[in-house]
Amino acid sequence: MGPLANHLRVDYVAAMGHVFEFNDAREYENWLQSPSRRYAQELESRLMMDMLKPMPGETLLDIGCGTGASLQPFLDFGLQVTGIDPSPYMLDIAIENVKNRVDFYRGFAEDLPFDDNSFNYATLITSLEFVEEPRQSLEEACRVAKDKVFIGVLNRYALKGFQRRVRGMFTPTIFNRARFFSVWEIKQMLAALLNKAPMSWRTVCQLPVTGGGLLSRMERSTLVQRCPFGTFAGIVVSLVPRFRIRPLTLRYKAGQAGPLPGLPMSPYRNAGSSQSES
């Protein structure tokens, strides 16, 4: 039995979406560790931190944490991190990568085993592509977070996205099981859930670069990141508390000088009354 048995808090629910098997998990980890992927991951991590703007010591839930590739920047920043994923094979690799610095759960994005407002932040990073019910997953993320939710997706309208889909027609890959989204589709789902909650988006991996230089500096420019065709799109929504307020209606009668119900008499008024009576 792997290290998962010692570190994982397990919550069993009915299977939803695609659950990565052993070979899928290894293929995904190899893809993340490829040299061409490292620079992209650095850009994605910087984008996440810039958009979330967390404070050290705050709490974060990574939904669909996979092999833990997205967890390291949060740990380095000093956040208290929890990860959840439906695949025990992915979680085994994640535990190997980050040891006991993260609390791991086995569970599904559509049915999170946490109370409302349990975390400052919730993130879904290249995980919405593999869930059964994307809108329900976003609703759950917004339920358990109290400050912000970050969604990072492989952009449907990026050139790299088209290449993945074409390659999948001829060669089986893990992305054959993925459902790709655009920035507008994510914003539409969030707007339906949260009405007028503040949202912002940016994309990275616009240019064919793998290191430093002028193109790399352009990639980090906020202006360039406003282009909607980058390979990785990040959307952040701020969760504004909503209260239903019903005004209390009070009838007023002419000559009624008493205090409002539930409020004490003003001491100055009492004093004035005493003086006038004396």
More confident residue, 21 or 268: 21
- Tell me the average pLDDT of the chain: 77
Please report, rounded to a whole number, the percentage of residues in the chain having pLDDT higher than 90. 47
Q: Quote the tokens at residue 32.
A: 């993340």
Asked if residues 168 and 161 have their Cβ atoms less than 8 Å apart, the reply is no
Is the pLDDT at 256 greater than 90? The verdict is: no
| Residue appearing with tokens 């914003």 | 187
Predicted TM-score (pTM) of this structure:
0.72
Average pLDDT over residues 77-90: 95
φ, ψ dihedrals at 202, nearest 5°: -155, 160
The 10s digit of each residue's pLDDT in 92-124 is 999 999 989 999 999 999 999 999 999 999 999
Range name among 146-160, 181-195, 214-228, 229-243 with the lowest pLDDT average: 214-228
Report all structural domains of the chain as residue ranges with CATH numbers, in order of start: 4-238 (3.40.50.150)
CA angle 115, 86, 79 (to 5 degrees): 55
Asked if residues 125 and 70 have their Cβ atoms less than 8 Å apart, the reply is yes
Cα 238 to its chain centre, rounded Å, is 10
